[in-house]
Amino acid sequence: MKNLELGQIENMLEKQGYIGSGSIAMSIFLAMQLEKPLLIEGPAGVGKTEIAKVMAKALETNLIRLQCYEGLDSTHALYEWNYQHQLLFLKMQESRGEDVKKLEETIFSDRFLLKRPVLQAISQEKRPVLLIDEIDRADEEFESFLLEVLSDWQVTIPEVGTIKASQKPQIILTGNRTRELSEALRRRCLYLWIDYPDFEKELAIVKTKVPEIDANLGEHICRFMTELRQLKLEKTPGISETIDWARALATMHLTHLDKKVVEDTLGVVLKDWQDMRHTQDALSELLEKTGVTSRIG
Amino acid sequence: MDSSLIRHQTEISAHVVLLCRYLRNKGYTVSASEEAEALQAIDKLPIDRERNFILSLKAILAKNRYQYLNFIEHYEEFRFHLAQAADSKIKNEPQKEKKKSKAEEEQARFDALKSWLNLTPSVEEKNIAAFSDIEVLGKKHFSNLSEDEINLMMRLLKKLAKKVAHRKSRLRKVSKSARKIDLKHTIRNSMRNGGNVQKLVYSKPKNKKLKLILLCDVSKSMDLYSRFFVHLIYAFQNAYDKIETFVFSTALHRVSSILDNNDFAKAFDIVSDRVPDWSGGTSIGSSLQDFLDDYGYGMLDKKTIVLILSDGWDTGEPEIIQTAMKSIYKKSRKVIWLNPLAGSPDFSPEAIGMKAALPYIDALVSAHNLESLKFVLNHLKYRRNLTKTT
């Protein structure tokens, strides 16, 4: 993976349909230049994971994803022996009367090694993008283990030996701040915060992702979403919900929003019944702020 | 290279080094390696664009949301101070002054805590001299404790807190000291030996860690108790693994990592320094709403207990508290409100904030002596009970 200039990064994001900002391009640029992991935090659905996908696509390299969850341990992140296959193999060879020492060498070889994301990432020939998604959901013990791997870039498998990374993967870590990450991890990363987009940025995203959408409808949707996020909702909708909604309404060949359309399709945007009820109560006001009062019917 | 260009780059490097030093005082964890990275980064960028210069420093030096969102403001402050320092050479004088009055401040804070509420000690409290430390401290009002006793009490509290830090889960984990045979793992391990069981594996129930969120009011009306309550959340922070702590007055500030990584005196100084609205007005409702907006989605679930430490005096609309509390109550396992005023015999929850929050509280606890705190710890063990306790 070659290092790109700042302008090239901006072009790369644009080409992949990712409407970013100067801060995002700068963080990616520095992460690549300094070969440091990039820690991205922000509310759900603002495009944190998308950055890793776009990077892998633009750099024509593999994206390896490690989805974190409570209880995730090193066997799920590094490697595991395929015991079932080893057992079957042993039983088959036993009947043929194979030499035990030779058998042992075979069963602890690459053939029976299940490479998990971190090992996969360090054993790739071309520098991949390793996405460690929702790191804050993993336990602190796993975070410490990860720090160790990330600092040495090598993994020791007792039966095989030490595997050292030929090229450091480009690491993107994302988090929703369900718990505070350790200072040690933060120190090792560059930091990027992504918030909900403003109206102009969201409109540009909608136009890029749903090019078939009517310009007027696109504007209405984005204005509505901006106002909707001002309500105190249980689950504030992100950009992904805006895109889903825009796609749904574009499929229906609509050219503007009205009260009935919003009521009928609100389930695409909101995923909590109390949020639905709260929004329905405030719908007239929301539409008025969105600027579509005259069309309420 | 052109000599003027070299001079320009040297000036920029000196500027970055000074900025790093300034940010360190602001609470940023800027180590020598970050400083080197910042210099390396500006070396790779065209130096004629100030925007790029600031963005690159922000990406490297900011390590959390607060720092990221306030970086430009802090950078501007730095430039202002730099310009001022160049004009007059009195840069460090305010700090000296601060050091001088620190001991006096400590004493004043402690005296204030001692005069907390001015409750008359009960007969029991007057006759407890012969009992053990725990018994003595248990019913003694905090206002009658010496600083050493407060420290001792915090140690006792930490011990008690650790006892209820775990609950048994239905999931099991492999353990050498366990007595129950784990068939699943025994068979799985036997596969390495061609299916012959050579070693038995034992397991015991896993511990479920308790998740706690502490929200502590540090507004003007809480001045008397703030230091004590920060002491309390410090003790909790060090007893539990899964805990997040916040302080608020007009805005919300996350302080978990400060309390985690420093001794109490240093942690208290950093927290009070870093919270610009410390001892300011109160806006409980909007602070709780900020907590919900920024962290609620990820942090609150049915395993999480929320502890709010506040007297309930609020200047905002009660509806805002009500909406926020309703949401917190719905999303969490339990909500416990610690009110320093509730220890008074004539206490009734008349403060606007307290009144609005009351329907969404599982327990309202006085938090004025160790007994009441033991009561809080006891509450942490059990699920939501619809009966309200005052």
Q: Are residues A67 and A180 in the same domain?
A: yes
Whether the CB of A88 is below 8 Å from some CB of chain B: the reply is no
**Strands of B251-362, DSSP E:** 252-254, 304-309, 334-338
- Separation in Å, CA of A278 to nearest CA in chain B: 12
**Is A176's CB within 8 Å of B256's CB?**
no
CA atoms within 13 A on the CB side of B154: 19
Q: Mean pLDDT in each 10-residue stretch from start to end of chain B (390 residues)?
A: 61 83 82 84 72 86 86 86 66 46 52 42 34 44 60 68 64 81 82 78 80 87 77 77 84 82 77 77 86 81 87 83 89 87 75 85 79 73 54
Q: Give me the pLDDT at residue A194, please.
A: 92
Q: Give me the pLDDT at residue B98, please.
A: 47
CATH number of the domain residue A10 falls in: 3.40.50.300
**Is A23's CB within 8 Å of B41's CB?**
no
- Separation in Å, CA of A251 to nearest CA in chain B: 31
Read off the pLDDT of residues A52-88 as tens digits, 9 standing for 90 and up.
999 898 888 999 999 998 888 877 888 888 888 888 8
- Rounded to whole angstroms, the Cα distance separating A222 from A204 reads 10
Q: Are residues A266 and A280 in the same domain?
A: yes
Residues of B in contact with A27 (CB under 8 A): 59
**Pick from B281, B7, B213: which is nearest to A177 by CA?**
B213
A-contacting residues of B 300-329, CB under 8 Å?
323-324, 327
**Pick from B381, B344, B316, B388: which is nearest to B163 by CA?**
B381
- Rounded to whole angstroms, the Cα distance separating B387 from B152 reads 33
- Rounded to whole angstroms, the Cα distance separating A226 from A240 reads 14
B-contacting residues of A 137-176, CB under 8 Å?
140, 176
Instruction: Check if the beta carbon of residue A44 is closer than 8 Å to that of residue A238.
Output: yes
> 3-state SS of A177-193?
CCCCCCHHHHHHCEEEE
Token pair of B26, please? 């602001």
**Is A86's CB within 8 Å of B56's CB?**
no
Residue A259 has pLDDT above 90, yes or no: no
- Rounded to whole angstroms, the Cα distance separating A166 from A156 reads 15
Instruction: Check if the beta carbon of residue B248 is closer than 8 Å to that of residue B218.
Output: yes
**Pick from B296, B320, B305: which is nearest to A272 by CA?**
B296
Q: Which residues pair with B181 in a beta bridge?
A: B202
Instruction: Check if the beta carbon of residue A213 is closer than 8 Å to that of residue A204.
Output: no
Which candidate from B41, B63, B242 shows the least CB-CB separation from A187? B63
Q: Are strands A129-133 and A154-157 parallel, antiparallel or unpaired?
A: unpaired
Instruction: Check if the beta carbon of residue A206 is closer than 8 Å to that of residue A19.
Output: no
Test mutation, A8, A21, A33, chain B, max B CBs within 10 A: A33
Tell me the C-alpha to C-alpha distance, in Å, between residue B321 and each of B291, B324, B390.
12, 5, 20
Q: Are residues A138 and A232 in the same domain?
A: no
Phi and psi dihedrals of B150, rounded to 5?
A: -65, -45
B-contacting residues of A 176-235, CB under 8 Å?
176-180, 183, 186-187, 189-193, 232, 234-235
Q: Which long-range contacts (CB under 8 A, 24 or more apart) does A144-149 make?
A: A144/A182, A144/A184, A145/A74, A145/A77, A146/A77, A146/A118, A146/A185, A147/A182, A147/A184, A147/A185, A147/A188, A149/A78, A149/A118
Read off the pLDDT of each residue in A269-297 and give the average, rounded to a whole number: 79
A283-290 and A215-228 are packed helices; what angle lies between their axes, rounded to 10 degrees? 130
Give the domain-ending residue among A144, A167, A193.
Answer: A193
Q: Give me the pLDDT at residue B104, please.
A: 60
Q: Give me the pLDDT at residue A291, please.
A: 78
Token pair of A72, please? 């995730």
Token pair of B102, please? 């620190």
Q: Give me the pLDDT at residue A270, please.
A: 92
- Rounded to whole angstroms, the Cα distance separating B365 from B360 reads 14
Token pair of A90, please? 């042993």
The chain A residue lying nearest B294, using CA atoms, is A43
Test mutation, B23, B68, B173, chain A, max A CBs within 10 A: B68
The residue ranking higher by pLDDT, A23 or B349, is A23
**Residue A90 DSSP SS3:** helix
Which candidate from B31, B195, B297 shows the least CB-CB separation from A87? B195
Q: Give me the pLDDT at residue A44, please.
A: 85
Query: Which positions ≥6 away from A288 have C-beta within 8 Å?
Result: none
Burial B253-268 (b: 16+ CB within 10 A, else e): bbbbbbbbeeebeebb
**Is A140's CB within 8 Å of B241's CB?**
yes
First to last CA, chain A: 56
- Rounded to whole angstroms, the Cα distance separating A189 from B152 reads 39
Phi and psi dihedrals of B388, rounded to 5?
A: -85, 140
Whether the CB of B294 is below 8 Å from some CB of chain A: the reply is yes
The chain B residue lying nearest A274, using CA atoms, is B327
**Pick from A290, A275, A283, A212: which is nearest to A241 by CA?**
A275
Token pair of A169, please? 């993967």
- Separation in Å, CA of B185 to nearest CA in chain A: 12
- Rounded to whole angstroms, the Cα distance separating A192 from B275 reads 23
Instruction: Check if the beta carbon of residue A132 is closer than 8 Å to that of residue A68.
Output: yes
Q: Which residues pair with B167 in a beta bridge?
A: B208
Q: Are residues A264 and A152 in the same domain?
A: no
Give the domain-ending residue among A63, A89, A115.
Answer: A115
A-contacting residues of B 184-203, CB under 8 Å?
188, 191-192, 194-195
Whether the CB of A43 is below 8 Å from some CB of chain B: the reply is yes
Which candidate from A22, A193, A235 shows the least CB-CB separation from B55? A22
Instruction: Check if the beta carbon of residue B364 is closer than 8 Å to that of residue B390.
Output: yes
Q: Give me the pLDDT at residue A295, please.
A: 47
Size of interface A-B (CB pairs under 8 A): 96
- Rounded to whole angstroms, the Cα distance separating A251 from A279 reads 24
Q: Are residues A126 and A227 in the same domain?
A: no
The chain B residue lying nearest A23, using CA atoms, is B55
Report the mean per-residue pLDDT for chain A: 86
Q: Are residues A144 and A203 in the same domain?
A: no
In 10 A of CB A6, how many CB atoms?
A: 21
Q: Give me the pLDDT at residue B102, please.
A: 52
**Pick from A2, A126, A137, A125: which is nearest to A66 by CA?**
A137
Q: Are residues A177 and A283 in the same domain?
A: no
**Is B37's CB within 8 Å of A176's CB?**
no
Domain count, chain A: 3
Within chain A, how many helices (H) and strands (E) appear? Answer: 15, 9
Q: Give me the pLDDT at residue B100, please.
A: 43
* Domain-embedded: residue A243: yes
- Owning domain of residue A19: 6-75+118-193
Give the domain-ending residue among A166, A193, A220.
Answer: A193
Q: Are residues A111 and A240 in the same domain?
A: no
Token pair of B320, please? 């805002």
Q: Are residues A50 and A127 in the same domain?
A: yes
Distance, CA of B182 to chain centre: 40
Q: Are residues A90 and A215 in the same domain?
A: no
Q: Are residues A88 and A43 in the same domain?
A: no
Residues of B in contact with A282 (CB under 8 A): none
Please name the helix (run of DSSP H) or strand (run of DSSP E) that holds residue B123, with its range, or none: helix B123-126
Whether the CB of B45 is below 8 Å from some CB of chain A: the reply is yes
Which candidate from A43, A191, A234 shows the least CB-CB separation from B62? A191
A-contacting residues of B 243-282, CB under 8 Å?
244, 254, 256-257, 261
Residues of A in contact with B56 (CB under 8 A): 26, 30
* Domain-embedded: residue A186: yes
* Domain-embedded: residue A296: no
* Domain-embedded: residue A55: yes
Read off the pLDDT of residues A98-148 as tens digits, 9 standing for 90 and up.
777 777 778 888 888 888 998 889 888 888 999 999 998 888 888 888 887
**Is B289's CB within 8 Å of A192's CB?**
no
Q: Are residues A101 and A150 in the same domain?
A: no
Whether the CB of B170 is below 8 Å from some CB of chain A: the reply is no
Assigned fold of B210-381: Rossmann fold (3.40.50)
Q: For chain A, what percent of residues have pLDDT higher than 70? A: 97
